[in-house]
Every structure is written in C-alpha cells, then in structure tokens.
Structure 1
Amino acid sequence: MTFKITIPEDPTDAHRNAVLAPLRSYNIAQAGDPRIRPVAILLTDKLGEHVGGLWGKCAYDWLFVELLAVPENLRGKGCGKALMAQAENIARANGCIGLWLDTYEFQARGFYEKLGFEVFGTLDDHPIGQKRFFLRKRLSKGPIPVS
C-alpha cells in the first residue's frame, strides 16, 4: 500500500474525523461501545446569561472534566464545588466509576484535592517552568448533595 503524508495548514473537522474514524472503530473492537455522552453544567447569572460552568463527557465508565470555569466574581462562593457535585451525580447516573481531569500548576490542583481527587500523573514543563497535573476520583455510592 502506498500513502502520502499531508499536513493541512488549517485543519478542519473533516480532517479530525479522518483520524477519529479508524481509531474509534479499533477502540470499539477492542473495548466495546464507549457510550460517549457530552456533559454541560452551566452557571447562569441573574439575566439568564451563561457565564461559566463545566464541560466534559462520559466515556468508558469515567466522566472526563474537560473544562471548568467560574468567573472571578463568583469564586469562593461554592460554585465550583456545586458544579463538581453535579458532575459526580451525572457520572453516577451514567454508571461511571470515577471522574478524571487535568489542571495546570497555576490553576486549581488544591481545589480538586479538597474534593477527593488524587494526582495520577504529572507532565513537567507544560508550559515550560510549570506542571500539568492529571487527577482522578473514584466514586462512592449514593448522590452528592448539591447546595
């Protein structure tokens, strides 16, 4: 089989899908249907505007928290904790055994550790002079109260 390597200057969703399709087929053949479900939990202000929240996905029995953003004026008021409690409840409802995420050294490692997450990996010099941490939390039984 002959092939040619192409590097698009402006990659598109079609390019991503060209890579994803054979990978998805292989993964399903090896580990079954990942049952991917997107998760969005939004913070809404008094005007009904979405001003932050959590974005992630359930896949292969874990919920991956891709993004968590709480506007500065809402920090320290329990919003992040409430978002994560909702994420845990969604994970449980979808049969997940845990949650995982990553955060930079200059972000919220301590916040996640207070919620019961533990570091399972570290990437040094990302960005240079900083670290990126990968954290996980295995779920216990029962829903988490949300205030």
Structure 2
Amino acid sequence: MRVTLTVPETPSEAEREAILAPLRAYNIARGGDPKLRPLAILLTDENGAHQGGLWGKISYDWMFVELLSVPEALRGGGYGSQLMARAEAIARASGCVGIWLDTFEFQARGFYEKLGFSVCGQIEDHPIGQRRYFLQKRLVA
C-alpha cells in the first residue's frame, strides 16, 4: 500500500474518526475495553439555561476532566467545588482509580490542589512565559 501525507484546511469529524479508528482498535487489542463513558455536569439556571459546568470522560478506570467552567458572575459561590465533588462521587461509584486534568498557570492550579489534586507533570512555555500543569487525584490506594 502506498500512502501520502495530506493536511486538510478544515479537518472534519470524519477525518478525525479515520485517525481514531486504528488507534482505538490497537488500544483495545492491548489494553482491553476502555469502558469509555462521557460525562457532563451542568450548571443550570432557574430558566433552564446552561451556565457552564464540567465535561469529561471515564476511560480505562480513570476520569479525565476536560473542561470546568463557572461564569464570572457565579464564581466564589462554591459551584466549582460542587462540580468537582459531584464528578468525584461519579468516579468513585464507577470504580475509578483516580481523576486527572490539566490547567494553565493563569487558571486554577491552587483550586485543584485544595481539592486534593497533586501535580504529576508540567509543560514550560505553554503559552510562552507560562506553564501548563497536569494534576491527578488518586481515589484508590
């Protein structure tokens, strides 16, 4: 088989799937079923409008928190802690070993550390002059 490299101007979901399919097959063959489960916990106002929340997934016995967003007007009201507590409860009920996430230096490292997370990696100059941190919290010893 002969292949070439192509770079689409606007990558599509079908192109993402073309990349993901062989990787998924390889991972399942070697690591077993990841039992992938998406997760969303929404902040919903009295009118039913979503005002932020948490987005993540459970895969291979760990929860990954991809997004945590609390609008400026709601910050300081404990919503971030509530979102993370609910995520942790779901992770524990799902038998997860732990939770991991990443955050930029200008975001919420201290917030996550107060919740029991510890830094397990970092990237310097991402963005330039800043750091990106990777944190984890083990739920099972």
Give the structure-2-normalised TM-score: 0.97
Determine the structure 1 residue equivalent to 2:76. Answer: 76
> Which stretch has the larger CA shift, 80-89 or 44-53?
44-53
Paired amino acid for 1:84: M
Asked if 1:39 is matched to 2:43, the reply is no
Could you say which residue in structure 1 is the equivalent of 2:13? 13
Equivalent residue letter for 1:78: G
**SS class of match (1:5):** coil
Moved over 2 A (4+): none
CA offset at residue 140 of structure 1?
Answer: 5.1
Which residues in structure 2 correspond to 1:100-119 (within 5 Å)? 100-119=100-119
**Root-mean-square deviation over aligned CA pairs:** 1.1
| Counterpart in the other structure of 2:27 | 27
CA distance in structure 2 between the partners assigned to 1:77 and 1:18 by the alignment: 43
For structure 1, the 5+ residue unaligned runs are: 142-147
Cα shift at 1:120: 0.3
**Count of residue pairs brought into register by the alignment:** 141
Query: What is the alpha-carbon distance in structure 1 between the residues aligned to residue 16 and residue 101 of structure 2?
Result: 22
Q: What secondary structure is seen at the aligned counterpart in 2 of 1:111?
A: helix
